[in-house]
Amino acid sequence: MDLAYTEAEEEFRARLRAWLAAVLPGLPPKPSPDDWPARRAYDTAWQRMLYDAGYAGLHWPVDAGGQGATPTQHLIFLEETEKAGAPYVGANFVGLLHAGPTIAAEGTAGQRARWLPPVLRGDEIWCQGFSEPEAGSDLAALRTRAVRDGDDYVVSGQKIWTSHAEVADWCELLVRTDADAPKHRGISWLAMPMDAPGITVRPLRTPAGSTEFAEVFLDEVRVPVRNRVGAENDGWRVTMVTLSFERGTAFVGEVVACRRTLDALAAEARRNGRWDDPVLRRRLGRLNAEFRALWRLTQANVGESERTGGVPGVGGSVFKLRYSGARQELYEAAAEVLGAEGAFDLDREWVLDRLSSLAYTIAAGTSQIQRNIVAERILGLPKGR
């Protein structure tokens, strides 16, 4: 396996670096991480700059509005933007990394034309309506129902941990369209407009103070049948495409950010004398090796997706499992370097990163779910009863 970059890919990297060096100094200050309306404005403005410069939807197909670049060029984009300290995808996360790629892969020509250009331009924000109360980690245990009524589905139920619902225009929504079918076969994937009558959004304030999530109540919300992506009752398969993108590529750029944080911790340990502790040095060294290995694993997964049509494979579960654990350990090491009080005496965004690391072994499928996927689909072990 060749993990080296080609001459053309290095030329792409050089052009991107030059563009970032030219535009980043002129950006306004980032808004408070607690102010999601302001964050939406900031994140969508950055997305528009990427679009105008030809860097939006880099690896999306040209007929989906993308640039038709290779997944490796996308990887270079993620690496260089993180290294340069460019704005994170933020409020555009679900649209660009979940719903958009899913519609590009599974949507009709009309659905691509309607939903993808506004995502790439930063005109519309999406939220994720997958999780439900009492379902736990069993995503297929959803109860939200959609009953066909002419050209509409009438949707009733409740979603929770709905990312970015407070500022979203659209929701990628999982609903049960056949209550009598086996639970993985009676599901459909809908695009629901968030301004439809019958939708109530209640932001959830996390222990970190952010309202990134919300609970969403659906009371006979009418969603056109034409908004269904994939066939009726085939939504579980479409969902697996969404989750493949989420686990395979959505967290990739964060590995670079973690390596930058690790370098900062090592520098601080040298400054405050903690570097003299051999146990701490060993821990930071092992984390450094872990994040470097994760980057190589990402390159291998991207190479595999290039050979299989662009949809990440189950290797994304290995990445997600290892990355979420390493991220938590990084911030535990930070507390060791800085002291428990010092770790919370930094700027607000850093504290949010510290607290959010605790959720990474739950978000996007728990570590237990990832272990099951690895056991069954990579190692070929029998399914549990």
- Residues marked as catalytic: 246
Phi-psi sector, 66: left (phi>0), alpha (psi -120 to 50), beta: beta
What CA–CA distance (Å, rounded) separates 343 from 348?
Answer: 11
Residue with tokens 């309202």: 211
Residue with tokens 């779910």: 369
Show the tokens assigned to 251. Answer: 């967290």
Residues in CB range of 18: below 8 A, 6 or more apart = none
Q: Cβ distance 198 to 153 under 8 Å?
A: no
Show the tokens assigned to 182. Answer: 């086996």
The helix (run of H) or strand (run of E) holding residue 52 is: helix 36-52
What CA–CA distance (Å, rounded) separates 202 from 205?
Answer: 10
Largest CA distance in the chain: 72
Residue with tokens 């599974």: 106
Q: Cβ distance 127 to 194 under 8 Å?
A: yes
H, E, C per residue of 339-372: CCCHHHCCCHHHHHHHHHHHHCCCCCCCHHHHHH
Four-CA torsion 238, 157, 186, 249, nearest 10 degrees: 20
What CA–CA distance (Å, rounded) separates 285 from 281?
Answer: 6
Amino acid at 42: Y
Count of all residues that appear for the chain in the document = 385
Show the tokens assigned to 284. Answer: 């930071």
**How many other CB atoms are found less than 10 A from the CB of residue 378?**
13
